[in-house]
Amino acid sequence: MNAPDTPPPSRTPAVPGASFDGVDLAALADRLGTPLYAYSASAIRQRIDGLQQALHGLDAMICYAVKANGNRAILELMAGAGLGADIVSAGELRRALQAGIPPARIVFSGVGKSEDEIAGALDVGIQRFNVESLDELLAIERLAALRGAVARAAVRINPDVDALTHAKISTGKSENKFGVSIDEARRWFESRAQLQHVRLDGLHVHIGSQILSLEPFRQTLARVAAFWRELRHGGHPIASIDVGGGLGVRYREGETPIAPADYVAAIREALAGFDGRLLLEPGRYLVAEAGVLLTRVLRVKHGEARDFLVLDAAMNDLLRPSLYDAWHDIVPVSAGAGPEVVYDVVGPVCETGDTFARDRRLPACGEGDLLMILGAGAYGASMGSTYNSRPLPAEALLDRGRYALVRRRQNFEQMTAGEQPARQWETA
Ligand code: LLP
């Protein structure tokens, strides 16, 4: 390893360039191959610190949304900083526990928790369930009764607020599948006495992701706060309010994310007088800008109508551009400094949607050049697939001049493990 044994004393600014968190990216790509996700531990710590500072003085717990990036090394970093986890599946629960996040810091969200998943979460004693339907509430009651346990629960409110983000990642409008209306939540509290094995004493809300304007958060918080006050007056004390995630990041020049201090100020203002615990579930904010996807140019193809830069990364490695038309900056790491050319930047997958960028201006590139796709730390690797039988890429964690391989590149055998020829036929 060509990195120093002891990290440099000063904090390396974790802004990607030829080096990222003190690690030479070209050397890293030579060593580990491409496509390769590289995450900066320093950048993640900076985000955690910033948010924790903004929360100073509040009884608050940050439950990192595991779905954004569930790599074990990332989760261990979160655990080390004292964060909890927001999980949405049994798999995420296992990941969080494996990384050392205590069950008392785990909240379980999601519209489709299976009975097995609820049972598993009850058995380890998670902090609370964020409940999304009456059926789910009754299932938790039943499964907790079987265990002689009392589950803690928050009702996920659907505040009918437009998060002003991409429709596919908006969750707080009444037509979305998430949460229940305040009217329905009120009925849950009114009949709360019938629940013997669920302590319903929390409110939860999450209106969407990549939110760049404070206004939707303000509207949401106002509705939640009014409901909390109403419940308090009605004799239903609320022990926790979970404000969800959603804080946006800068993917593109000109985008101005909400400063954590402003976000927390809006929370303080709306929830003034609330003496329970505040929960937050940020995902993207903590990891998106701390990750890059390193990729090499396989080929420059001069088409009839446009020039294509064909990369060795594809939509199976980073789906966001294909799925949401999301913008990610693409920056040469070791490309020649030739004149700029306009490319469509694409992957090798057999779909026109396998496009990272259209009409993107880049220095002229040639075969083998190394590029990085920025803002790839959240919903990158975690949304990866093996489509077109492309094994999952490797992942590395960088930290002040050193790196660790935190996910080995998948090989063919691992990718196809579990498949078998149809030799043994049975009737069901
Ligand atoms: N809490 C709940 C209940 C959630 O559903 C989510 C994200 C979060 C917290 C974290 O949200 P964040 O802070 O990361 O915005 N794949 C999409 C994003 C989907 C977000 C799903 N839920 C993307 O690549 O943009």
241, 317: one domain:
no
Number of domains in the chain: 2
Q: Is the minimum distance from the CB of 157 to ligand 1 under 6 angstroms? A: no
Final residue of a domain: which of 282, 310, 326? 282
Helix (H, G, I), strand (E, B) or coil at 242: strand
Q: Is residue 172 part of a domain?
A: yes
- Do residues 335 and 362 touch, judged by C-beta distance below 8 A? yes
Cis before 159 (ω within 30): no
> Whole-model pTM above 0.85?
yes
> What span, in angstroms and rounded, lies between the C-alpha atoms of 284 and 246?
7
Final residue of a domain: which of 256, 282, 308? 282
Question: How far, in Å, from the CA of 389 to the mean position of ligand 1?
Answer: 27
116, 262: one domain:
yes
115, 188: one domain:
yes
120, 243: one domain:
yes
Q: Is the minimum distance from the CB of 380 to ligand 1 under 6 angstroms? A: no
Helix (H, G, I), strand (E, B) or coil at 384: coil
Amino acid (one-letter) located at 316: N
Side-chain-side CA neighbours of 411 within 13 Å: the count stands at 2
Q: Is the minimum distance from the CB of 206 to ligand 1 under 6 angstroms? A: yes
Q: Name the residue of 48, 62, 207, 281 to mutate for ligand 1: max ligand atoms within 8 A of Cβ.
A: 281
Q: Is the minimum distance from the CB of 284 to ligand 1 under 6 angstroms? A: yes
Amino acid (one-letter) located at 294: L
Of 350, 359, 412, 425, the active-site residue reads: 350
278-297: buried (b, 16+ CB within 10 Å) or exposed (e) per residue? Answer: bbbbbbbbbbbbbbbbbbbb
Q: Name the residue of 64, 66, 67 to mutate for ligand 1: max ligand atoms within 8 A of Cβ.
A: 67
What local confidence, expressed as pLDDT, does residue 6 receive? 38
Lowest mean pLDDT among 1-15, 158-172, 328-342: 1-15
Q: Is residue 125 part of a domain?
A: yes
Side-chain-side CA neighbours of 322 within 13 Å: the count stands at 20
Lowest mean pLDDT among 88-92, 117-121, 161-165: 161-165
302 bridge partner residues:
307
Q: Is residue 336 part of a domain?
A: yes
323, 341: one domain:
yes
Amino acid (one-letter) located at 84: G
Percent of the chain whose pLDDT exceeds 90: 91
Amino acid (one-letter) located at 336: G
Among 344, 362, 360, residue whose Cα is nearest residue 352 = 344
Q: Is the minimum distance from the CB of 37 to ligand 1 under 6 angstroms? A: no
> What span, in angstroms and rounded, lies between the C-alpha atoms of 306 and 73?
41
More confidently predicted of 426 and 1: 426
Q: Is residue 130 part of a domain?
A: yes
Which DSSP state fits 34?
S
Q: For the chain, what is the radius of gyration of the CA atoms? A: 23
296, 238: one domain:
no
Final residue of a domain: which of 233, 255, 282? 282
Q: Is the minimum distance from the CB of 111 to ligand 1 under 6 angstroms? A: no
Structure tokens at 400: 């002040």
What local confidence, expressed as pLDDT, does residue 210 receive? 97
Question: How far, in Å, from the CA of 99 to the mean position of ligand 1?
Answer: 20
Number of Cβ within a 10 Å radius of residue 212: 18
322, 359: one domain:
yes
Residues 2-51: tens digit of each pLDDT: 334 434 434 444 667 699 999 999 999 999 999 999 999 999 999 999 99
- Do residues 208 and 158 touch, judged by C-beta distance below 8 A? no
Compute φ and ψ for 340, nearest 5 degrees.
Answer: -75, 145
Question: How far, in Å, from the CA of 135 to the mean position of ligand 1?
Answer: 24
130, 211: one domain:
yes
**Residue 61 burial class via C-beta count within 10 angstroms: exposed 0-12, middle 13-18, buried 19 and up:** buried
Tell the residue nearest (CA) to atom 23 of ligand 1.
379
125, 270: one domain:
yes
337, 209: one domain:
no
Q: Is residue 42 part of a domain?
A: no
What local confidence, expressed as pLDDT, does residue 164 receive? 87
What local confidence, expressed as pLDDT, does residue 14 receive? 64
Q: Is residue 73 part of a domain?
A: no
Strands 330-332, 307-311: pairing kind: unpaired
Structure tokens at 193: 């006495």
CATH number at residue 270: 3.20.20.10
User: Hunting for tokens 């960088």 — which residue is that?
Assistant: 398
365 catalytic per annotation? no
> What span, in angstroms and rounded, lies between the C-alpha atoms of 329 and 327?
7
**Ligand 1 atom having least distance to the Cα of 210:** 15
Among 199, 64, 69, 67, residue whose Cα is nearest residue 131 = 199
Q: What is the CA angle 365-367-369, rounded to 5?
A: 60
Q: Is residue 326 part of a domain?
A: yes
Among 325, 344, 399, residue whose Cα is nearest residue 169 = 325
310, 411: one domain:
yes
What local confidence, expressed as pLDDT, does residue 386 receive? 98
Question: How far, in Å, from the CA of 178 to the mean position of ligand 1?
Answer: 12
> What span, in angstroms and rounded, lies between the C-alpha atoms of 113 and 45?
31
Residues 176-235: tens digit of each pLDDT: 999 999 999 999 999 999 999 999 999 999 999 999 999 999 999 999 999 999 999 999
**Ligand 1 atom having least distance to the Cα of 68:** 14
- Domain of 343, in residue numbers: 289-415
Among 136, 140, 102, residue whose Cα is nearest residue 120 = 140
Q: Is residue 41 part of a domain?
A: no
CATH number at residue 389: 2.40.37.10
> What span, in angstroms and rounded, lies between the C-alpha atoms of 170 and 163?
6
Report the Cα–Cα distance between both ends of the chain, in Å, rounded: 55
311, 410: one domain:
yes
